[in-house]
Amino acid sequence: MATKKSTETAQITVEDKLRALYQLQETDSKIDEIKRLHGELPLEVKDLEDELAGLQTRIEKIQAEITQRKEDVAAKKSEIKDAQNQIKKYEQQQMEVRNNREYEAITKEMEFQKLEIELCEKRIREYTFDIENKTALLDSAQSKYEERSIDLKQKQNELDEIVAETKKEIEDLTAKSEELASVIEARLLTAYKRIRSNARNGLAVVSVARDACGGCFNKIPPQRQLDIRTYKKIIVCEYCGRILIDNELGNPAQSE
């Protein structure tokens, strides 16, 4: 059984290997193309999710600041009430003083409490103005959050639809890719994957077109082109390292 398998492997020609590699490349490129169609939407969805998280944090921060300012206003109003009670107390005491010195001392205390009231009222105006500004910022942030939430929902729906539409196609292409990869010898498959991972467009197998490499477009010498056409061995581009195939093998319809 082992002898039969090794004989079958030995019968696989260089042309067969290149054809299998090219078919694998075509299948993997189709998967790449579908994923590229997905590519923009997942990024847009992620950006919107990050923006919404940032807006939520900003909204919570502004709300906390508004709450704090309202507490500050309430505290100052309480201080005003305390000062007013003190003034009433001092007014009562003025009616019971026995000399001018006591009267003047109480009067100074009353003036101090009045100054405290004025200062508290000033602070209340400042805090109220700050609350109004922060409320405007909060309204703007919440409005933007609602707009971005709608945008996110739309983008997420678009992405879900595309993923659903292409799920079966990707599954079929992935199965085909795995099937093609299973008939390619391990060493060659490893080289293909390595070249593909290093190539910017994911192309590891390219055809020679107009005397040039279909990947980097550098000129291929005539003798090297002849070697490629005769399928005596697997040839790689000396400039970009991609596996080179004959244009007819890469475009079978043209050779019919």
Residue type, 226: L
Residue 244 bridge partners (DSSP): 206, 235
User: Are 117 and 80 spatial neighbours (Cβ–Cβ below 8 Å)?
Assistant: yes
Most confident of 26-35, 77-86, 177-186, 225-234: 77-86
- Which residue would you say has higher pLDDT here, 153 or 16? 153
Any domain includes 7: no
> Would the pLDDT of 7 be above 50?
no
63 with 154, same domain: the answer is yes
Q: What is the pLDDT of residues 84-95, one digit of tens each?
A: 999 999 999 988
Same domain, 65 and 137: yes
Residues 41 and 58 reside in one and the same domain: yes
Please check whether residues 66 and 154 belong to one and the same domain: yes
Q: Is 9 within a domain?
A: no
For the chain, how many helices (H) and strands (E)?
Answer: 7, 4
DSSP state of 199: S
Q: How confident is the model at residue 50 (pLDDT cuts 50, 70, 90)?
A: very high
Q: Please indicate, yes or no, whether residues 214 and 103 belong to a single structural domain of this protein.
A: no
Instruction: Report how far apart, in Å, the C-alpha atoms of 4 and of each of 8, 16, 21 are.
Output: 6, 19, 23
Burial grade of 155 (CB within 10 A; 0-12, 13-18, 19 or more): buried
Q: In this structure, is residue 80 part of a structural domain? A: yes
Share of the chain above pLDDT 90, in %: 57
Q: Is the dihedral of CA 192, 193, 195, 196 positive or negative?
A: positive
Q: Is the pTM of this model over 0.85?
A: no
Q: Which domain holds residue 168?
A: 34-176
pLDDT of 182: 87
Please check the confidence at residue 1 and state whether its pLDDT lies above 60: no
CA distance 235 to 37: 32
Decide if 155 is inside a domain.
yes
Q: Is residue 29 part of a domain?
A: no
Q: How confident is the model at residue 11 (pLDDT cuts 50, 70, 90)?
A: low
